[in-house]
Amino acid sequence: MKVLVVGGGGREHALCWAIAGSPLVTKLFCAPGNAGIAQDAECVDIGAEDIDSIIRFVQENEIEFVVIGPEAPLVAGLSDKLLEIGVKSFGPSAAAAVMEGSKGFMKDFCARHDIPTAAYGRFTDVVEAKAFVEKNGAPIVVKADGLAAGKGVIIAETTDQANAAIDDMLEGGAFGEAGAEVVIEEFLGGEEASFFVLCDGETALPLASAQDHKRVGDGDTGLNTGGMGAYSPAPIVTDEMAETIMETIIGPTMKGMKEEGKPYKGVLYAGLMIENGQAKLLEYNVRFGDPECQVLMMRLMSDLLPALIASADGVLKDFDLRWYDETALTVVMAANGYPGSYDKGSVIKGLEDAETDKDVTVFHAGTTLNDEKDVCAIGGRVLAVTALGQTVAEAQTNAYRAVDAIDWPGGFCRRDIGWRAIERESSS
């Protein structure tokens, strides 16, 4: 089977790494890929959002299955276009991808189907938005309605910060069209977790849980980012909690999307806040998380590709996946200055040294090869150094040992990934 993976980040490297090992694959392509993905797939110079060129490549190369990694081509309807030419793909339709494409839609959907989430309001008017903030106080969360590459969420500690975020989005165009409408919601306390399910329109198959670290600084301080590290499984997602999430959040979502004529196929990623044994939905994403995908793929024992095909074919009901018991932990190495402005082109050395441990894999995100065939950083989040361990603490030790083997003065990372889980391990 000829397979194309769409995307060029750390998530797509993890997917290519997993899919490349499937006996079903005769040829694996990735568009556009990166320097790391090139070790597992043939990279083709087509952007993930260049839908016309992707369709043309699929037809010319007789691709039989397409795995769509990022959210933007899903929201733009790539899976629908592939269906029109008779090619199967993994990922929701544009109609279903609105679950991530519009935070306002997601919140209204939750209200219609009694799915627990934070109280909220939707606004296009600055004065009305600020009045909502004044009424509800701080801390409060201001979100751009549309896709903003993981950066459109401001957790405002004061009403002044919230009002500044409103001005930036609605008047300053900080996130372009994505910020033409804002969703303002109550700040939820507790502990975040990521919960993933594969869906086929009828059935939702739970995957392993994970916990992401959104803030740029140690101790969960600083600006929100696309993710600075993750680990799996998340201890807070017990078997009992997983059942609760399936019953109160995932089940009603699958039923509601079908009722509304948008049956959901693909992976559904629920960002949750858990407190006092209760889970509330913070957001839905319509793709694997990044860097959560990296830790999930490290723990996956089963062949991934048949599961993705089963999702597309609507036959997940009797499907099962097996997972390694070990913990996987990933540390994101980002370019200095991220999530603000950062330089591009710095050379990264020592990658081979980092992977001498069999339990370590370095997934690439924003990388390319220069004329001298050196790996260079061209993105904000550049590497995801991922390790296995019998405990979270052991996985963390292995991951940071590999990080320290990498010679990259142009980059930085958090040094405390997994800290909540390690505190739990120590106390128990």
Give the confidence band of 420 by pLDDT, cuts at 50, 70, 90.
confident
**What's the start-to-end Cα distance of the chain, in Å?**
48
Q: Can you list the alpha helix ranges (DSSP code H) found in 113-231?
A: 126-136, 159-166
Report in angstroms the alpha-carbon separations of 303 from 16, 19, 21, 22, 297. 12, 8, 8, 6, 10
pLDDT digits (tens, 9 = 90+) for 352-372: 999 999 999 999 999 999 999
Yes or no: say if 241 and 303 are a contact pair by the CB < 8 Å rule. no
Interhelix angle 103-112/251-259, rounded to 10 degrees, is 100
pLDDT digits (tens, 9 = 90+) for 183-218: 999 999 998 899 999 999 999 999 999 999 989 999
Q: Which residues pair with 381 in a beta bridge?
A: 334
pLDDT greater than 80 at residue 149: no
Give the total number of structural domains in the chain.
Answer: 4
| CATH code, domain carrying 402 | 3.90.600.10
Q: Is residue 319 part of a domain?
A: no
Please report which helix (H) or strand (E) contains residue 414, including its range: none
Let me know whether 299 and 341 are in one domain: no
| CATH code, domain carrying 165 | 3.30.1490.20
Edge-to-edge strands, sheet with 120-123 = 120-123, 182-186, 140-144, 153-156
d(CA 266, CA 380): 27
Let me know whether 140 and 162 are in one domain: yes
Yes or no: say if 328 and 298 are a contact pair by the CB < 8 Å rule. yes
Q: Is residue 96 part of a domain?
A: no
pLDDT at residue 379 in the model = 94
pLDDT at residue 394 in the model = 97
Let me know whether 198 and 283 are in one domain: yes
Let me know whether 307 and 333 are in one domain: no
Let me know whether 163 and 241 are in one domain: no
Yes or no: say if 156 and 95 are a contact pair by the CB < 8 Å rule. no
d(CA 234, CA 336): 29
Let me know whether 251 and 357 are in one domain: no
Give the structural domain span for 220. 191-313
d(CA 424, CA 126): 43
Query: Would you mind telling me the total number of residues written for the chain in this entry?
Result: 428
Mean of the pLDDT values across residues 72-87? 97
Helices (H) and strands (E) in the chain, counts: 15, 24
Give the confidence band of 424 by pLDDT, cuts at 50, 70, 90.
confident
Let me know whether 228 and 338 are in one domain: no
Let me know whether 152 and 199 are in one domain: no
Quickly list DSSP for 258-288.
HHTT---EEEEEEEEEEETTEEEEEEEESS-
Task: Report the SS3 class of residue 323.
Answer: strand
